[in-house]
Amino acid sequence: MNGNEPRDVTSFVASPELVGAPDSERFRCFLDQVPIAIVVSTLHPRELIVYANSEFEKLAGQSEAEISGKPWSALRGDAEGPGEDRDLGAAIQESSDCVGTFRIARPGREDAIVDAHSNIIEDNDGGPSFRLAALIDATPLTADERQNLEHVIREKDILLREIQHRVKNNLQLITALIRIEARNARGRIDTEPFSRLAGRIESVQLVYKLLSVHGKEDEIDLGVYLSEIVTGVMRAHAVEGIRLDLKLDAYPVSVNIALPTGLLVNELLTNSLKHAFAGRDGGTITLRSVADDSGCRVLVADDGVGLPEGVTWPRSGRMGALIVQSLRQNANAKVTVASSAGKGTLVTMAFTRAASAPQASKSDNGVG
């Protein structure tokens, strides 16, 4: 594939918006601009080709004039692969969706390898209207093309890292400004919301820091990330007499999993330091991130006063609830909360290796 095609070709060729394509100049103009080879045939009274775009002419080496008004057998191309004995035109008529891979002989040029897709487009009444075929260039890259592509990828990778570095620095500056304003406002207003906001921004900033340091586009070591979170929270909220018990395994996860996990750990550690030991001389906060072949469990616990009677966590509409929802959606995470008066609070996040691996990340982490 040459990298310019829409990701879901099957959805494209099945689109009901294409019903008027053979007879509509507007749709013909649209199809002329599509970076995929497109061929269209009517179905009644006979199935004959009525349209081919310029991308088809470039890829297949046949002009629209050569095949227009003819059956699909006018297309050149034979099935690629051992045991295959189908020509392209017949396969397009006999199959639907992904038809297969074919070799097209092009006079004066190297053969083209294409992945073919085919679909019947129905009219508004559900009846067959016409057939649309899409051919995707699957010809292996030449050495020069591969070298040019690698050069482009390297340039984009450098640009991405520069953007990540700038975002990290900007978030670091924002965090510092919020903390300065909170200190200056102490005694005049409640500064805890400012402090919490700074901690959340710092959690995001740490993601970009680790991406810059380790050079992975979509992978964070959860153990290293949570260690950085702990350092930031303790620096901002440390209380004398409170001991921290840590055990963090190395565990690579996607950024979309690491970020809500880090935000949730930041919330829980801050809550414990601020409220769990009210009226006590001290206590212990425990953070565990334990990985095995099946996945990872993150545990945040304290031996403090526990949640007040009748109070649950997370509270609906608060940041904690949004983060928990994000973890459940993005990593199929199981989040459990246990608390009792005088015996502290325990929050556990568990997700499988398959759901949290970098390749399983989603486009939206769901955290606002």
What is the per-residue pLDDT for 365?
Answer: 41
144-185: pLDDT as tens digits: 777 777 777 677 666 666 655 566 565 566 666 666 666 766
Where residue 217 falls among pLDDT bands split at 50, 70, 90?
A: low
| Token reading at 295 | 């996945």
| Structural class in CATH, domain 9-140 | alpha beta
39-76: pLDDT as tens digits: 999 888 889 999 999 999 999 999 999 999 999 999 99
What is the per-residue pLDDT for 245?
Answer: 92
H-state helical runs in the chain = 9-13, 25-33, 54-60, 64-67, 88-94, 143-184, 192-214, 222-237, 255-271, 319-331, 353-356
**Inter-residue contact 268 to 293 (CB < 8 Å):** no
What is the per-residue pLDDT for 81?
Answer: 74
Domain boundaries, the chain: 9-140, 142-217, 234-368
Where residue 323 falls among pLDDT bands split at 50, 70, 90?
A: confident
Rounded to an integer, the average pLDDT of 273-295 is 88
Collapsed DSSP state (helix, strand, coil) of residue 291: strand
β partners of residue 348: 299, 336
Rounded to an integer, the average pLDDT of 277-282 is 84
Where residue 5 falls among pLDDT bands split at 50, 70, 90?
A: very low
What is the per-residue pLDDT for 23?
Answer: 56
Report the topology of domain 234-368. Answer: Heat Shock Protein 90 (3.30.565)
What is the per-residue pLDDT for 349?
Answer: 92
Rounded to an integer, the average pLDDT of 259-288 is 88
Least confident piece of the model among 57-61, 317-321, 359-363: 359-363
